[in-house]
Amino acid sequence: GSIGGSESNDEGSIGGSESNDEGSIGGSESNDKGSIGGSESNDEGSIGVTLDSQETIMGDHILVATGRVPNVEHMGLDAIGVQIDGDTGGIRVDRHLKTSVKGVFAAGDCTGDRQFTHYAGYQGSIAARNVLLPLDDPGVLPDVPSTTFTQPEVASFGMTEAAAVEEHGEKKVSVSFRPLSQIDRAVCEGTDQHGFVKIVHHAKSKQILGATVVAPAAGEMIAELAVAKDAGRSFGKLATVMHSYPSYSIALQQMAAEVYYDGLKKNKFLYDLLKAIGL
């Protein structure tokens, strides 16, 4: 499918789109997978996009983010027996970045795994170490933090709430949520209108399963949660890790404290006592 009447060639590039005198983008066609139906602009310069569902969404720009496909053709890989993953289109590797041919390793975007600069760099160093040294370190990781550097930033890692519920069951999954309007730093800087911190954790063990942060410092905040998960530290334990005030990340300590005290409700006497004395 294309946007605004543009045509794609055999190489997957987007051809020339047509605009009218007002700078609008013309109608487009959808494929079997469904696509954006068409768009137009009004006198104020905003763009309206009509979806296949006939819903119209207004905005200032259209961002085409269709992803990338590994470029592994015409390299002679099939001649030496290197297998290509049919689902991702990338070179098939095991968790140590070994291909189907002994002595041949692959790392980064060409494997069809998650396409992030930091992940590709990590895999490249692991592959080099495994090739040159008697090591067998893992290069394919289950959780890779990602950040979209918009304003505010959008960062995430691990499972979403829906994925966690599907794998563990609804009763075994808990969610901690705090909007930026409840984070003092955001209020002070006037960035509290849009954003939140959402942490998905196991209801009983409090082990972190995943997180999403929409905030000016989301990229930094998500790293702390990723470290805690990798170290096997439960979310409630972050309540005892001192954070500076008024940083954005102190919200993680405050949210963890809520989870910690929620666990104390099983001991009603202790919980009521701590609450009575303000602790």
Sorting pLDDT into bands at 50, 70 and 90, what band is 192?
A: confident
Please state, for a pLDDT cut of 90, what percent of the chain lies above it.
64
Q: Is the pLDDT of residue 39 over 90?
A: no
Structural domain contains residue 279:
no
For residues 252 and 117, give the distance between their C-alpha atoms in angstroms, rounded to a whole number: 26
Residue 234 lies in domain: 146-268
Structure tokens at 164: 């966690």
**E strand or H helix at 215, and its extent?**
strand 208-215
Say if residues 236 and 260 touch (Cβ distance below 8 Å).
yes
**In a shared domain, residues 165 and 249:** yes
pLDDT computed for residue 271 by the predictor: 67
Q: Is the pLDDT of residue 8 over 70?
A: no
pLDDT computed for residue 62 by the predictor: 81
For residues 134 and 137, give the distance between their C-alpha atoms in angstroms, rounded to a whole number: 10
Q: Is the pLDDT of residue 273 over 70?
A: yes
Bin 81: left if φ > 0, else alpha if -120 < ψ < 50, else beta. Answer: left
**In a shared domain, residues 154 and 230:** yes
Lowest mean pLDDT across 34-48, 50-64, 119-133:
34-48
**In a shared domain, residues 191 and 244:** yes
Q: 36, 66, 96 — which closes off a domain?
A: 66
Site of tokens 């069809």: 112
Sorting pLDDT into bands at 50, 70 and 90, what band is 38?
A: low
pLDDT computed for residue 31 by the predictor: 42
Q: 132, 157, 177 — which closes off a domain?
A: 132
- pLDDT, tens digit (0-9, with 9 covering 90-100), for 69-106: 899 999 999 999 999 999 999 999 999 999 999 999 99
Q: Residue 212: which CATH number?
A: 3.30.390.30
Structural domain contains residue 220:
yes
CA angle 88, 168, 85 (to 5 degrees): 10
Structural domain contains residue 139:
no
**In a shared domain, residues 114 and 58:** no
**In a shared domain, residues 125 and 166:** no
How many domains does one find in the chain?
3
Structure tokens at 127: 């592959």
For residues 85 and 87, give the distance between their C-alpha atoms in angstroms, rounded to a whole number: 6
For residue 105, what are the contacts with CB-CB under 8 A and spacing of at least 6?
Answer: 93, 97, 98, 99, 127, 130, 131
**In a shared domain, residues 96 and 191:** no
**In a shared domain, residues 88 and 59:** no
Q: Is the pLDDT of residue 265 over 80?
A: no
pTM for this prediction: 0.74
Contacts 24+ apart (CB under 8 A), 173-176: 173/200, 173/201, 173/202, 173/203, 173/209, 174/200, 174/201, 174/202, 174/203, 174/206, 174/259, 175/199, 175/200, 175/201, 176/201, 176/235, 176/255, 176/256, 176/258, 176/259
